[in-house]
Amino acid sequence: MVSRIAGIGVALPPAASQDDLWEGHFSRHFGGASGPLAKRIFANAGVRRRQAAVSPLLEDVSGWSTERRMRRYAVEVLPLGAQAATRAMAAAAVAPADIGLFVVCSCTGYATPGLDTLLARDLGMSPAAQRLFVGHMGCYAAVPGLGAATDFVTARGRPALLLCAELTSLHAQPATTDTQQIVAHALFSDAAAAAVVAPGPGPGYAVLDVAAVTDTATSELMTWTVTDLGFRMGLSPRVPDVLAANVADLVTDLLGRNGLEVVDVDGWAAHPGGPRILTVVQERLGLSAELLAASRGVLSDHGNCSSPTVLMILEALWRGERPPRIVVMLAFGPGLTLYAALLSWSD
């Protein structure tokens, strides 16, 4: 049975320009000796504007307790997730009662009952709908989430809904001279993105295969640590080097077992962890700048939104003048883990 992405929905909180965020807040937050370095990092992040459910221009949450941040997460994430999910189901012409599996990915907040339970209730899904919550996988969570949804649809013949919702703005950290923290504050953004995976033929992207590789010897290079003051990102400058050592083999193996080569792929949804990440992907796979334009465009227009980002890039490719026929989704995160999915356009 063919399982295909039949619709995508994106929801975004209010946005601000990178310049306004720097001048209006972060120039003071990273003042003193770290100021000149922080200003250069913000200017070179490849980000023109980004979104925040809790904008630092209006509220400085850097001194909030984790408990207070989690209470705010529950308030802000539900309407954002509901909007993305509703748009995806409308695009796929699928009703909430038809959803057999609801997969939710989020690493920026915790609540019990979780988003999967509360949104299933609010959106009108069946009480018999199965649910799966994917937490703390970070930026790559959408791809294993898509894999789980696809496996369910293939086995059960019923639609599944994947939702990725992240509020990174709630984890602003106290002022620091730590370069890794400055980089994280210059890149990350808030968003929700959802995709309906449906059985049978029809318009959309058939999910052909999913692959992954994890280099556990470098697990300390990217971390997401729960502290008394929210979750703190650890982001080593060595991350692009690990990606460079693994991405070509992952992609060529994925393509090869499906009878394809890199030159056959006309669409790339590569998670823009930062400008260097996309440069590594381009160089290691021998891609043209045009093939990564959508990934760079999402980074510029929206920042690094963690798990929703690859779905946002796929949505941008889909609504282009001519959707690419063969797409590879690539995402990277803690582990260090690389995930890839192979998609094929179906009319």
The model's pLDDT over 257-273, given as tens digits with 9 standing for 90+, comes to 999 999 999 999 999 99
Report the percentage of the chain scoring pLDDT > 90. Answer: 95
Residue 321 half-sphere exposure toward CB, CA atoms < 13 A: 0
pLDDT at 180 over 90: yes
- Non-local (6+) Cβ contacts of 1 within 8 A are 153, 154, 157, 199, 200
Q: Which of 103, 94, 87 is nearest to 144 (CA)?
A: 103
Is the pLDDT assigned to residue 8 strictly greater than 90? yes
Tokens linked to 190: 């808030």
Q: What is the per-residue pLDDT for 95?
A: 98
Phi and psi torsions of 229, nearest 5°: -120, 55
Arithmetic mean of pLDDT, 170-186: 95
Is residue 116 packed enough to be buried (19+ CB in 10 Å), middle (13-18) or exposed (0-12)? buried
Predicted confidence (pLDDT) at residue 346 exceeds the cutoff of 90: no
Dihedral angle sign, alpha carbons of residues 193, 152, 258, 319? negative
Residues whose CB falls within 8 Å of the CB of residue 67, separated by 6 or more in sequence, listed in order: none
The whole-number pLDDT of residue 304 equals 98
Task: Please state, in angstroms and rounded to a whole number, the distance separating the CA atoms of residues 80 and 13.
Answer: 7
pLDDT of residue 141: 98
Residues near 260 by beta carbon (within 8 Å), at least 6 away in sequence? 326, 342
Question: What's the token pair of residue 134?
Answer: 């994917």
Provide the pLDDT for residue 1: 75
Q: Please, are residues 174 and 129 in contact by the beta-carbon 8 Å criterion? A: no
Distance CA 271, CA 139 (A): 8
pLDDT at 31: 85
Confidence of residue 321 (pLDDT cuts 50, 70, 90): confident
Structure confidence at residue 347 (pLDDT): 82
Q: What is the pLDDT of residue 32?
A: 81
Whether 305 has a pLDDT exceeding 90, the answer reads yes
Q: Tell me how far apart the alpha carbons of residues 30 and 46 are, in angstroms, rounded to a whole number.
A: 19
Residue partners of 3: CB distance under 8 A and separation at least 6: 150, 153, 154, 197, 198, 199, 206, 207
Over residues 188-197, the mean pLDDT reads: 98
Domains (range + CATH), the chain: 3-199 (3.40.47.10), 204-346 (3.40.47.10)
The residue-averaged pLDDT of 209-216 equals 97
